[in-house]
C-alpha cells in the first residue's frame, strides 16, 4: 500500500539548525499556497488509496483547523492506517487536538530536539521541558497515543550531562517513538553555514566535537533500548507496533505521492521532486520537475541498510556486490545471517561509507 506526503513549509521562526525548505513567510502567502496545494492534490490520478499520510514542513501543526480539514478532504483512503502531523511543542490545546483527530490525524511528531532551556534558546526554539510534558498530556487526553519526540545530538553547548537530562525526560514521558538525529553540518542551515565558515554566530564555536556527538548518539541507543524503544532504523526507535508506518515506506521502496514545495514522490519505478522554494511553487504552473527513473538495484542498499533488519540479498545482489559485502563483513561493518545482510553497531556509525560503496560498486 502507498502513502502520501504533504509539505506545509510555514514556521513561526526559523531554527538555526534547520536545513529544510521552510521558513517565516507573510500571512497572505498561506492562502496562495493552500490554493496551489489543493489544486495539485486534486490533479492527482489515484491508482491506489493511500494507507498513510504524513504532513511535514515547516510546522503543519500551526495551520488553522479548517485549513487542515481542507487539505486532507481530497485525499482518499480515510480512515488511514496512520496519519502523522508534525507540530512544534509549547502550547498545544485540547480543542486543537480534537480538530486534528476530526481531520483524520492519529499520530503526532513533536520537534522537541532538547529538553534543556539553554540549548533550546540558542537554536530558536521557544518551548520548555514542562510545556512538552503538558503537550504530551493533552495529546493523550484527547486520544492520540502515537507520539514521536525528535532529539538532536550535537546542539551548541550540549554536554554529556545535559544530554542525559534530556534522556531522563524521555524516560519520564514514555513516548512510544523517538527519533534521534546527529547534527547535520551543511550550508543549507544557518548554524551549519556558520560552522563551515568558522564563524561565531548561532553558538557555532560551542557545537560538540564529532567524537562527543557520536558518544551521545550511542548513549541514546543504549538508554532507549533499556526503556523498551528498539532501534529499527538508524535514527528511529520505537516500542513494538509503534514504528512509523509512513517512513517505513521510504526505506522499503514502497510508493508514495508528494505534494507541496520541495515534496518528493515515487511510483515504484520513477521519482519526482517538486520545485523547492515557496516562491517557485507559487509561480509554477506545474510544480513537478521532470521524473527520473529510480536506480532500484542501488537504492535497495542505500535505504534498505538503514533498517536494522537489513535486507534480503537476491542472486543479482550476490553477483554484483559480492566483493563489497565481503569487504565490509571482514571489517566488521556488515554482518550476514543466511541471505540477509545488515549493518553492525559500528557499521551504523560509518554507514555513509558503506552506502557510498554500494552506490558506486
315 is written with which cell numbers? 542472486
CB contact at 8 A, 308 and 291: no
User: Rounded to whole angstroms, how far apart are CA atoms 326 and 318?
Assistant: 10
Residues 232 and 305 in one domain: no
Nearest to 99 by CA among 136, 131, 55, 142: 142
- Give 93-118 pLDDT, tens digit per residue: 999 999 999 999 999 999 999 999 99
Pick the more confident residue, 282 or 200: 282
Query: Bridge-partner residues for 236, per DSSP?
Result: 179, 233
284 lies in some domain: no
* Cell matching residue 162: 545535559
Domain stops at, among 183, 216, 250:
250
271, part of any domain: no
Please give the mean pLDDT across all residues of the chain.
93
Residue 356: how many other CB atoms lie within 10 Å: 11
pLDDT digits (tens, 9 = 90+) for 174-186: 999 999 999 988 8
Phi, psi (degrees; rounded to nearest 5) at 198: 55, 40
Residue 77 belongs to domain with CATH number: 3.20.20.70
* CA separation for the pair 128, 118 (Å, rounded): 10
The total number of structural domains in the chain stands at: 2
DSSP letter string, 314-345? PHHHHHHHHHHHHHHHHTTSEEEETTEEEE-H
Q: Mean pLDDT check: name the lowest of 187-196, 231-240, 272-281.
A: 187-196
* 286 domain-assigned: no
Q: What are the residues whose beta carbons fall under 8 Å from the beta carbon of 11, sequence distance 6 or more? A: 18, 22, 23, 24, 57, 58, 59, 62, 88
The tens digit of pLDDT for each residue in 122-142 reads: 888 889 999 999 999 999 999
> Is 278 a domain residue?
no
356 part of a folded domain: yes
Backbone angles phi, psi at 352, to 5 degrees: -60, -35
Q: Is the pLDDT of residue 256 over 90?
A: yes
Q: Which helix (H) or strand (E) holds 147?
A: strand 146-153
Which of 250, 270, 304 is a domain's end point? 250
| Residue 352, domain CATH | 1.10.10.920
Alpha carbons 224 and 221: distance in angstroms, whole number: 5
How many C-beta atoms lie closer than 10 Å to residue 335's C-beta?
Answer: 15
Query: pLDDT tier at 52 (50, 70, 90 boundaries)?
Result: very high
Is residue 282 included in any domain, yes or no?
no
CA–CA separation, 237 and 68 (whole Å): 28
Strands 270-273, 311-312: pairing is unpaired
62 DSSP 8-state letter: G
- Weakest-pLDDT range from 88-92, 131-135, 355-359: 355-359
Look at residue 255 and tell me if it is in a domain. no
**pLDDT class of 244 with cuts at 50, 70, 90:** very high
User: Which of 170-196 are b and which e, b meaning 16 or more Cβ less than 10 Å from the residue's Cβ?
Assistant: beebebbbbbbbbbebeeebbbbbbbe
Asked if residue 361 has pLDDT above 50, the reply is: no
Residues 207, 330 within the same domain: no
Q: Is the pLDDT of residue 203 over 90?
A: no
pLDDT (0 to 100) of residue 360: 61
Does residue 21 sit in the same domain as residue 91? yes
| pLDDT tens by residue, 14-38 | 777 777 767 778 888 999 999 999 9
Q: Does residue 235 register a pLDDT over 60?
A: yes
In whole angstroms, give the CA distance from residue 142 to residue 172: 20
Please say whether the beta carbons of 254 and 2 come within 8 A. yes
Q: What is the pLDDT of residues 308-338, one digit of tens each?
A: 999 999 998 888 889 999 999 999 999 999 9
Report pTM.
0.94
Q: Over range 195-202, report the average pLDDT.
A: 85
Examine the domain organization and report whether 126 and 228 are in the same domain: yes
Residue range 138-158, pLDDT digits in tens: 999 999 999 999 999 999 999
Q: Which domain holds residue 41?
A: 3-250
pLDDT-above-70 percentage for the chain: 99
Cβ–Cβ under 8 Å, residues 56 and 7: yes
Where is the domain boundary, 195, 218, 250? 250
3-state helix, strand, coil in the chain (%, to 5): 45, 20, 35
The DSSP code sequence of 17-43 is T--SS-B---HHHHHHHHHHHHHHHHH
What is the Cα–Cα distance from 76 to 281, expressed in whole angstroms?
24
CA distance 117 to 123: 10
Amino acid at each position: 500500500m502507498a502513502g502520501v506526503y504533504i509539505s506545509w513549509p510555514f514556521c513561526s521562526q526559523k531554527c538555526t539548525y534547520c536545513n529544510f525548505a521552510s521558513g517565516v513567510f507573510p500571512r497572505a502567502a498561506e492562502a496562495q499556497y493552500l490554493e496551489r496545494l489543493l489544486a495539485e492534490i486534486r490533479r492527482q490520478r489515484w491508482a491506489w488509496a493511500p494507507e498513510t499520510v504524513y504532513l511535514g514542513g515547516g510546522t503543519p501543526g500551526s495551520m488553522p483547523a479548517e485549513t487542515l480539514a481542507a487539505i486532507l478532504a481530497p485525499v482518499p483512503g480515510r480512515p488511514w492506517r496512520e496519519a502523522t502531523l508534525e507540530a512544534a511543542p509549547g502550547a498545544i490545546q485540547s480543542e486543537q487536538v480534537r480538530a486534528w483527530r476530526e481531520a483524520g490525524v492519529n499520530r503526532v511528531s513533536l520537534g522537541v530536539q532538547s529538553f534543556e532551556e539553554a540549548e533550546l534558546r540558542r537554536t530558536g526554539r521557544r518551548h520548555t521541558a514542562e510545556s512538552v510534558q503538558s503537550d504530551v498530556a493533552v495529546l493523550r487526553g484527547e486520544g492520540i497515543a502515537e507520539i514521536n519526540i525528535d532529539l538532536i545530538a550535537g546542539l551548541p553547548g550540549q554536554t554529556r550531562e545535559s544530554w542525559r537530562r534530556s534522556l531522563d525526560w524521555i524516560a519520564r514521558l514514555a513516548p512510544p517513538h523517538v527519533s534521534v538525529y546527529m547534527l547535520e553540518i551543511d550550508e543549507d542551515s544557518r548554524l551549519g553555514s556558520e560552522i563551515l565558515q568558522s564563524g561565531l554566530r548561532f553558538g557555532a564555536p560551542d557545537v560538540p566535537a564529532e567524537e562527543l556527538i557520536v558518544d551521545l548518539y550511542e548513549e541514546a541507543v543504549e538508554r532507549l533500548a533499556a526503556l523498551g524503544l528498539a532501534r529499527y532504523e538508524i535514527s528511529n526507535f520505537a516500542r513494538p507496533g509503534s514504528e512509523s508506518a509512513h517512513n517505513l515506506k521510504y526505506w522499503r521502496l514502497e510508493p508514495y505521492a508528494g505534494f507541496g514545495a520541495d515534496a518528493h514522490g515515487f511510483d515504484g519505478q520513477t521519482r519526482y521532486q517538486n520545485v523547492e522554494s515557496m516562491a517557485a511553487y507559487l509561480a509554477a504552473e506545474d510544480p513537478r520537475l521532470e521524473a527520473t527513473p529510480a536506480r532500484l538495484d542501488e537504492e535497495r542498499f542505500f535505504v534498505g541498510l538503514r533498517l536494522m533488519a537489513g535486507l534480503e540479498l537476491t542472486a543479482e545482489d550476490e553477483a554484483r556486490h559480492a566483493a563489497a559485502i565481503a569487504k565490509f563483513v571482514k571489517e566488521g561493518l556488515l554482518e550476514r545471517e543466511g541471505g540477509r545482510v545488515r549493518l553492525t553497531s559500528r557499521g551504523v556509525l560509518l554507514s555513509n561509507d558503506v552506502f557510498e560503496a554500494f552506490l558506486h560498486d
